[in-house]
Amino acid sequence: GESVGLHLPTLSVQEGDNSIINCAYSNSASDYFIWYKQESGKGPQFIIDIRSNMDKRQGQRVTVLLNKTVKHLSLQIAATQPGDSAVYFCAENGGTDKLIFGTGTRLQVFP
Amino acid sequence: DAGVIQSPRHEVTEMGQEVTLRCKPISGHDYLFWYRQTMMRGLELLIYFNNNVPIDDSGMPEDRFSAKMPNASFSTLKIQPSEPRDSAVYFCASKQALGGNEKLFFGSGTQLSVL
């Protein structure tokens, strides 16, 4: 029979455009949030993180926005490149030592 | 630094066999995490250690799974007996909590196939 798996939302963007990947988190106790990038056959790789006392943090070509009121996190990638194609995960700590990951979003970059 | 090192990279075994996955965390890191990734469930936390002591094993699926950390530089995840539904990619990750650093560093994973 047909296997049923997680349906990963997919974001398709043209090279050079900006990408916005969204994430809803669930635990009000979370005070730390992080984005990872996972390429095929590799482990998750750190992109950027943010603490709950901030609402925005910028890195190189990436920005994370945190809206605690609606429990929403977003990752913005400027001038998206083919090398940005991957699955992106957000994670929260639930106020604990561990990270709980979301289901992920697949980013596809077209030339 | 070599990063988190996992072995083997791939493991193919038959149902009922014992499987042992290995992890060497980054030197100086005092937390170690085992995650499992499948299409059905995504990335799930199985167990984590702090200073070699298991802190939370609530994610371990059942008694067939066990994990140990005999010292700061080595951990194992054992499945005995293995079943086809255990097929997944198993990741080890570590972090250093000093200074409130929460960032996890992941290994390359072990792709397990149980036939």
* pLDDT more than 70, % of chain B: 97
Q: Give the residue with greater pLDDT, A83 vs B100.
A: A83
- Listed in sequence order, the residues at least 6 apart from B73 whose beta carbon sits closer than 8 Å to its beta carbon are B24, B25, B27
Q: What is the pLDDT of residue B99?
A: 65
pLDDT at B33: 98
Q: What is the mean pLDDT of chain B?
A: 94
Q: Are strands B110-114 and B10-13 parallel, antiparallel or unpaired?
A: parallel
Predicted local confidence at residue B36, as pLDDT: 97
Give the residue from A98, A101, A105, A106 with the most B CB atoms within 10 Å of its CB, the best one to mutate. A98
Q: Measure in Å the smallest separation between the Cα of A45 and chain B Cα atoms.
A: 7
Number of CB pairs < 8 Å for A and B?
57
pLDDT value of residue A3: 42
A42 touches chain B (CB under 8 A): yes
Considering CB atoms only, which of A6, A42, A98 is closest to B39?
A: A6
Residue contact A101–B42, C-beta within 8 A: yes
Which residues on neighbouring strands pair with residue A108, listed in sequence order?
Answer: A12
| Average pLDDT of span A51-77 | 96
**A32 with B45: Cβ contact below 8 A:** no
Residue B100, pLDDT above cutoff 70: no
Out of A99, A102, A103, name the one closest to residue B104 (CB).
A99
Q: Is the confidence at residue B1, as pLDDT, over 70?
A: no
Least CA distance to A92: which residue of chain B?
B102
Residue of B nearest to A105 (CA): B42
Which pLDDT does position B41 carry in this prediction? 87
Closest-CA residue of B relative to A95 is B102
- Rg of chain A taking only CA atoms, in angstroms: 14
Q: According to the model, what pLDDT value does residue A2 have?
A: 40
Query: Which residue do the tokens 């043209």 mark?
Result: A14
Q: What is the pLDDT of residues A15-57, one digit of tens each?
A: 999 999 999 998 999 999 999 999 999 999 999 999 999 999 9
Summarised one tens digit per residue, pLDDT across range A85-111 is 999 999 999 988 899 999 999 999 999
pLDDT over 60 (residue A5): no
End-to-end CA distance of chain B: 36
